[in-house]
Structure 1
Amino acid sequence: MHTEYEFSEVKWKEDLSPEQLLKVIFNYTAKIANERVLDNVLILMANMGRDMIVSDRCAVWLIDKARNELFTTVAHGVKEIRIPFGSGVVGHSICSGEPLFIDDAYHDPRHNSENDERTGYRTKSIITVPFRNNEGEIIGAYQAVNKLTPAGVFSAKDLEHLQLAASYSGKSLESVMLHEEIVETQKEIIFTMGEIGESRSKETGNHVKRVAEYSYILALGLGMSEEEAALLRTASPMHDIGKVAIPDSVLKKPGKLTEEEFQIMKNHTQIGYNLLRNSNRQILKTAAVVASQHHEKWNGRGYPNGLKGEEIHIYGRITAIADVFDALGSDRVYKKAWELYRILNLFHEERGLHFDPRVVDVFMEQLPRIIEVRDRLSDEISEEQ
């Protein structure tokens, strides 16, 4: 037995007036235009569709070509749902390219009632409208469920309004998906370039992975937003990119560097900065700061510019301790890995000298998470795989 959707318990609403509809459209389109995170755009799309046609719920379905499925991550009240491509009401609408009205879902064989059975929700009326990208290709569909006006079913006017939402949202969604694809491509390039810089000095790719994860943990511990912490995690693998221009005789020397050789080595910070500084991309601008400042010291005795205290960007202060922790804890051509207790003693000694005291304190607070990352991304595990 299915739980009946009790309309007697619903507070009936009226369809929007033209003025109210315009207000909803302007409100949501402004928000969507300024949003670059895909999940946030999908939420705004679902909310806009629901509010425009006064439905109880609205789902935004997308096509997953790789898996030949349809999926929704934004369906009010439920988590992700996946169905085979072409199945269900939404699948039929997408395959035909035509909108669908259903007044009573349980009298339509295309309705999949399994989700209702799982949640106890009773789907009655449905309207489904495909949306297209700029080339006219269908990339997904709106699906609104249960009209909340006394009529209880969707009308031709609802179709008109949802088609308007679909026309705008499909093009906006494609733009955001393209933006995310570009960002992911940038991340891959940045990580690969970071690995190149490290591999020339016989470091492993896992070094830049660990430094990235340590930096992310420290940024969150310092109270940065998830977005800013993720930005630093993406940019930090570029901290030593300038090493690509350092001669092998210096970079790979197994013993201690002479003063002249050390001066040459120090140039990698300025080289890295010069490689990255002219980009207008936020990720590369952040990477430029990290490359330039990760060897600056809190007491002003670092390089290349002798910056002191908060003159050093917080990104540089975070990456500094992340990089030193991983460098000391790893075997290098010129030394064996330090034991953990020895590294922690050094950090206590260098608190307020080499390192920002607040970053050291957060490092100690987050040490269990940092150790977990170190063990999970150890070079030995990487080589075995």
Structure 2
Amino acid sequence: MLRKDLTSEQLLTIIFEYMAKISSESKLDKVLVLMANMGREMILADRCTVWLIDESSGELYTTVAHGVREIRIPIGSGLVGHAIATGEPVIIEDARHDPRHNAENDRKTGYQTKSIITIPFRNNDGETIGAYQAINKMTEAGKFTDYDMNLLSLAASYAGKSLESVMLHQEIADTQREIISTMGEIGEIRSKETGNHVRRVAEYSYVLAKAYGLSDREAETLRDVSPMHDIGKVAIPDAVLNKPGKLTDEEYDIIKSHTRVGHQLLKGSRRELLAAAAIIAEQHHEKWDGSGYPHGLAGEDIHIFGRITAVADVFDALSAERVYKAAWPLERIEKLFREERGRHFDPAVVDVFFDKLDELVDIRDRLNDGLNEEAG
């Protein structure tokens, strides 16, 4: 459907609304969606694609292209490759007559590309890191103008700098996640568990967090950091940690110290993920009725991350064969959670545990260590 050109007031509204959204967003995929939507609305295009350079593979790729899935092309190919290589914007009135346009995608999809505008965008150092590409002007004129180029260049200038910041933030977050996951597995290896234990606890925690009503970001944070819940075990002697028989009171006190040790290891960081990991490491053995450790916290004084991880950790511990016990059948596990609802565990978390039990069992079976076939 053809549209009328935007008024100055409408254009300013679009620009300010999207700039506010982009500046407050920290996830790369969401920023790319906002960028594509902003470009499409600003210049009244049918589709808008945000291309990025993948230096490692020598490709240009897009995870955001209206109407299509991810596309990857060799660097330097097509109109977008030309614009990025030269650093100059490109406007084409009819792509069907331009040899730089790759018409194969149109033949595959049945979509007819006519007018195209492509604008490279740069980081704070002036290096080209990607490009906007808008397709098919949705006005009666049916072609992009120099005015459109100026508008999209403005958006590209702002979005490119914002994108660099988001990419750096994501790189830092990804590095933290990798460190957290690796350290979590190291802690479990010392207690002769496999890495699948921490992966299962992470997935259980995410499912429970979403069902409990936490936001996507909170649930994702919990999934990322829950593998660190037992990191303090690195300080527990092997003779105590892997003792097959009953622990003495003194040995049990040593085991309990892993919550304090884990918190001490992590508490100094101001990074969101490591700060959350410190909470879980310290509080995942606290109990709803106040009888847990290390501080005897009760009820909602226990952080929700600790309350959820407690359920996820106990479910996995009971479901799996360990050096000191056989795996429990599912019926016995269900009985324990009913008995401990309001004592060991937050009643609301236990309720969502039962609501999502089938999904939790599916995760358990998918990430099975091959040691607990009798469970369930």
Q: TM-score, normalised by structure 2?
A: 0.92
Asked if structure 2 preserves the Cα contact closer than 8 Å seen for 1:270 and 1:304, the reply is: yes
- Equivalent of residue 297 in structure 1, options 287, 292, 311: 287
Which residue in the other structure is 1:60 paired with? Answer: 50
Q: Take 2:355 and 2:42, find their aligned partners in 1: how far apart are those partners? A: 48
Asked if structure 1 preserves the Cα contact closer than 8 Å seen for 2:3 and 2:44, the reply is: no
Question: What displacement does 1:177 show?
Answer: 1.0
Question: Are 1:343 and 2:338 counterparts?
Answer: no
Within 5 Å, give how 1:26-175 maps onto structure 2.
26-175=16-165
Asked if structure 1 preserves the Cα contact closer than 8 Å seen for 2:282 and 2:294, the reply is: yes
Asked if structure 1 preserves the Cα contact closer than 8 Å seen for 2:225 and 2:276, the reply is: yes
Identity of counterpart residues, as a percentage?
67
Residues 131 and 255 (structure 1 numbering): CA distance in 2 closer, same or farther, change over 3 Å? same
Which residue in the other structure is 1:371 paired with? Answer: 361
Question: Are 1:233 and 2:223 counterparts?
Answer: yes
Which residue in the other structure is 1:14 paired with? Answer: 5
Q: Deviations over 1:31-80 (max 9, x none)?
A: 21111111111122122222333323221111233333322222223332
Which residue in the other structure is 1:5 paired with? Answer: none
Give aligned pairs, total.
371
Which residue in the other structure is 2:239 paired with? Answer: 249
Asked if structure 1 preserves the Cα contact closer than 8 Å seen for 2:47 and 2:65, the reply is: yes
Which residue in the other structure is 1:327 paired with? Answer: 317
Asked if structure 2 preserves the Cα contact closer than 8 Å seen for 1:132 and 1:138, the reply is: yes
Which moves more between the two structures, 148-157 or 345-354? 148-157
Q: TM-score, normalised by structure 1?
A: 0.90
Question: What displacement does 1:228 show?
Answer: 1.3
Q: Take 2:14 and 2:345, find their aligned partners in 1: how far apart are those partners? A: 51
SS of 1:380's partner is: coil
Which residue in the other structure is 2:198 paired with? Answer: 208
Q: Deviations over 1:137-161 (max 9, x none)?
A: 2221111122234432222222222
Asked if structure 1 preserves the Cα contact closer than 8 Å seen for 2:37 and 2:48, the reply is: yes
Question: What displacement does 1:23 show?
Answer: 3.8
Q: Deviations over 1:258-288 (max 9, x none)?
A: 1111112111112212222232111112111
Residues 49 and 350 (structure 1 numbering): CA distance in 2 closer, same or farther, change over 3 Å? same
The one-letter amino acid of 2:5's match is E
Q: Deviations over 1:104-157 (max 9, x none)?
A: 111112222333344443322111111122333222111112223443222222
Which residue in the other structure is 1:3 paired with? Answer: none
SS of 2:293's partner is: coil
Q: Deviations over 1:235-257 (max 9, x none)?
A: 11111111122233322222111
Asked if structure 1 preserves the Cα contact closer than 8 Å seen for 2:2 and 2:140, the reply is: no
Q: Take 1:90 and 1:154, find their aligned partners in 2: how far apart are those partners? A: 16
Asked if structure 1 preserves the Cα contact closer than 8 Å seen for 2:84 and 2:120, the reply is: yes
- Equivalent of residue 261 in structure 2, options 267, 271, 287: 271
The one-letter amino acid of 1:365's match is D
Residues 285 and 109 (structure 1 numbering): CA distance in 2 closer, same or farther, change over 3 Å? same
Q: Take 2:45 and 2:367, find their aligned partners in 1: how far apart are those partners? A: 48
Which moves more between the two structures, 116-125 or 304-313? 116-125
Structure 1: runs of 5+ lacking an equivalent: 1-9
Question: What displacement does 1:96 show?
Answer: 2.5
Within 5 Å, give how 1:169-188 maps onto structure 2.
169-188=159-178
Asked if structure 2 preserves the Cα contact closer than 8 Å seen for 1:187 and 1:234, the reply is: yes
Q: Take 1:93 and 1:353, find their aligned partners in 2: how far apart are those partners? A: 64
Asked if structure 1 preserves the Cα contact closer than 8 Å seen for 2:287 and 2:298, the reply is: yes
Q: Deviations over 1:321-380 (max 9, x none)?
A: 111111122222222222222222222222222122222222122122211211221223
Asked if structure 2 preserves the Cα contact closer than 8 Å seen for 1:16 and 1:52, the reply is: no
Asked if structure 2 preserves the Cα contact closer than 8 Å seen for 1:15 and 1:149, the reply is: no
The one-letter amino acid of 1:314's match is I
The one-letter amino acid of 2:219's match is A
The one-letter amino acid of 2:334's match is L
Which moves more between the two structures, 238-247 or 151-160? 151-160
